[in-house]
Amino acid sequence: MWKPRLQSNACIANDVHTLHLNQSWSLYEVHDSYDFKECTEPDCDYDSDDGCDCGDEAEFDYDEDLVLRCDDCHLKHRDRIRHFKPRRLQNLDLTSCTFTNSDFLKFLHFIGCVKSGYQASMKSLHLDRTEVTFDDLLPATSLSLQSLSIEGRHLSETGITFFLKVVAKNLTTLNLGETNISFSGFISNADNPVFTSLKEVNLSGCKQVTDEGLSSFLSVTREKLETLDLSKTAITLSTIGSLPSLPLKNLCLRECENLTEMGLLELLEKAGATLRTLDLSGCKQLTDEGLSAFLSTTGDKLRTLDLSKTTISLSTVGSVPTALYLEQLSLRECQNLTESGLLELLEKTGATLRTLDLRQTNLSTPFKESALVARVSGLAELDLKH
């Protein structure tokens, strides 16, 4: 458990903008803005109350922006961080620190982010792979975060729901990747936070996210949401039909093994007017008919499409009534891909296509060397590796 010790009376800068305490809370290395020179005397005891035994003082060279990085939690000098009372701290990275809920709250108090009448300047907070679950965590009412990352942790559903309410107003980026979040706390909850500024959400690897929870979460985040990563989740999108339109520009559904084609089409119908990038790699449920249906909706807007490791053959793409303006297309490891289907697709989008990935497909060598090359002469990048 982390306990700040209040011993030395030397106070260092209050103008710190970015603080990294990766895997540690012991200050030993300062990059660019401060130069923390450790004593090289082998018998010097830095842990003494009086500072350096050999009389050498740590040297600090001030600069406008300070970036600190601490990597070894067993180093001495943990007293030094006691003097770190930044009032202009904008970015705090505690990735992999062994902070508990209590430690985290103490740390916020320690740097002045939890104080009556005080408005913190902190905009970005990383708690990836810490022990903070947000359970029984008192509100940090002065936090006005724009970016929050809590990747790879077992969270308290009640705790994280409460914390999100605290920081919802100004949040633009939220990373909950590989956590156990289900958003059950958002279902049938009249007191849900409203995210009026949220633009980017990462839920990759969140295996416990339910369709009902996702729909409830999207209902309060959809206003400005542009990027959504649902890769490697268990969602089916079966309840997405209850939502109004979504202003998505980038959508990742990579390796969503339970995804239903009907759910996908409903989501794309709501986001088709704005969608620019779509990743469906590894979505085995996608059929040629479904592909043609959503290309008819999104084709003139979509610029990047990843269909790698799917079972599509492109046999029905000729039925798409609109021209396509794809710039990047991946069909890697599409074992059912047909030469005629690919030619039909290139006929519709060949004028704009710049990158085409056909690695590990079953296209014949003569086709690659003649018909295909003739259609894609304007490409900047063509990958045909087997």
What is the Cα–Cα distance from 378 to 351, expressed in whole angstroms? Answer: 8
Torsion of CA 184, 185, 191, 192, to 10 degrees: -70
Task: Record the pTM.
Answer: 0.81
Q: Would you list the domain boundaries of the chain?
A: 18-27+81-383
Does CATH place domain 18-27+81-383 in 3.80.10.10? Answer: yes
| Residue with token string 């070894």 | 72
pLDDT confidence of residue 15: 58
What is the Cα–Cα distance from 308 to 281, expressed in whole angstroms? Answer: 5
Block means of pLDDT (10 residues each) for the chain, length 386 residues? 38 59 43 38 42 38 33 39 59 82 74 59 87 72 84 83 85 94 79 86 95 91 91 93 88 95 90 92 94 86 95 93 91 94 88 90 82 75 80
Closest to 221 measured CA to CA, from 242, 249, 201: 201
Ramachandran area for residue 223 (φ above 0: left; ψ -120 to 50: alpha; else beta):
alpha
pLDDT confidence of residue 273: 83
Ramachandran area for residue 30 (φ above 0: left; ψ -120 to 50: alpha; else beta):
beta
pLDDT confidence of residue 100: 79
pLDDT confidence of residue 202: 98
| Residue with token string 């679950």 | 133
